[in-house]
């Protein structure tokens, strides 16, 4: 994510905030015209800070007594204002500033300087639009999933037919989405050869959770390692690379696609374990999709990764004929 993209989004946040403040000001002026007494009350309430500061300066020994009286007077003014609004058929929320995000008040940042989730999601949405994934998710989601393209006849000695197997996987995937907010430690491992619907189902889950305003990072294992390398070896060059790296650990859902296609060595093994293990400890959910068999995973990755995955992930095997020409 580059600085120009962030600048564009923050400019939009500023326009959004200005619009919310302007609209609140317009509503306020209408109320003042209809009920002038409310304007007088607001003027008195706005002096609260000044009155408290004055009480502290003039009465350093017993200022709390004065502050309590000021606060009591302010509460009475607020109650009087509420009564006036109600009597004039004006809701109490009418004069509020309607920010799209009440957490950061449309600034994009929290008081401690950290990015608000709303800004993180905007960055992710922008990245998806730039990568065309948004269009992919419109086509590949639970509503467009066709169970009938999976053969309903035995396949290579498996207990379930490909269709029965996929109905089971689909049910688990929908349950994963529906129970996503539960602290159940659910993580999914999709494995099987190419052309069996693993990526399609990942897209279904991503779309469903993005629609619920969850922060979803969907990257290939190769791209994730690129992000890690940018963070490790080009540290300090860009705060945006750091944010991309942090999201691997903090996103509500991380989908690692095509695990096993990246170059594996001691460094990549350690980093992969770090991501998976940290997310498990934090209670963040992860989906791994791979063409590798369990045996190949053990041969490719360290014992730590293998044991962590099989301890904390639900393994779901995809099998059947290649469906890439039918999906």
| Predicted model pTM | 0.68
* Mean pLDDT in residue range 254-272: 81
pLDDT tens per residue across span 32-71: 999 999 999 989 888 887 777 777 787 777 777 778 888 8
Token code pair at residue 211: 């629609």
Domain ranges of the chain: 3-95, 132-317
- Average pLDDT value for the chain: 86
User: How many residues in total does the chain contain?
Assistant: 327
**CATH architecture observed for domain 132-317:** 3-Layer(aba) Sandwich (3.40)
pLDDT tens per residue across span 214-252: 888 888 888 888 888 887 776 545 555 577 788 889 888
pLDDT tens per residue across span 270-303: 888 889 889 999 999 999 999 988 888 888 877 7
Token code pair at residue 320: 């059947």
């Amino acid at each position: 994510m580059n600085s120009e993209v962030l600048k564009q989004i923050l400019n939009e946040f500023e326009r959004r905030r200005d619009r919310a403040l302007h609209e609140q000001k317009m509503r306020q002026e209408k109320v003042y015209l209809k009920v002038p007494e409310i304007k007088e009350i607001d003027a008195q309430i706005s002096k609260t800070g000044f009155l408290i500061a004055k009480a502290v300066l003039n009465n350093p020994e017993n200022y709390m007594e004065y502050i309590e009286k000021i606060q009591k007077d302010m509460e009475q003014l607020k109650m009087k204002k509420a009564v006036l609004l109600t009597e004039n058929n004006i809701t109490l929320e009418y004069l509020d500033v309607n920010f799209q995000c009440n957490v950061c008040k449309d600034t994009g940042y929290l008081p401690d300087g950290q990015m608000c989730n709303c800004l993180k999601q905007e960055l992710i949405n922008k990245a998806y639009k730039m990568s065309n994934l948004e269009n992919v998710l419109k086509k590949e989601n639970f509503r467009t999933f066709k169970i009938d393209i999976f053969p309903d006849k035995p396949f290579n000695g498996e207990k379930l037919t490909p269709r029965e197997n996929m109905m089971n996987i689909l049910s688990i995937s929908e349950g994963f989405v529906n129970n996503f907010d539960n602290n159940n430690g659910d993580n999914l491992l999709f494995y099987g050869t190419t052309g069996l619907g693993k990526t399609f189902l990942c897209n279904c889950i991503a779309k469903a959770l993005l629609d619920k305003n969850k922060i979803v990072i969907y990257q290939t294992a190769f791209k994730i390692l690129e992000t890690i390398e940018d963070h490790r070896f080009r540290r300090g060059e860009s705060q945006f690379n750091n944010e991309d790296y942090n999201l691997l650990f903090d996103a509500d859902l991380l989908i690692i696609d095509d695990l096993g296609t990246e170059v594996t060595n001691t460094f990549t093994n350690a980093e992969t374990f770090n991501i998976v293990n940290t997310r498990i400890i934090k209670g963040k959910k992860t989906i791994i999709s791979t063409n590798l068999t369990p045996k190949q995973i053990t041969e490719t990755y360290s014992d730590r990764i293998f044991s962590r995955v099989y301890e904390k992930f639900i393994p779901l095997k995809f099998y059947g004929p290649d469906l890439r020409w039918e999906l």
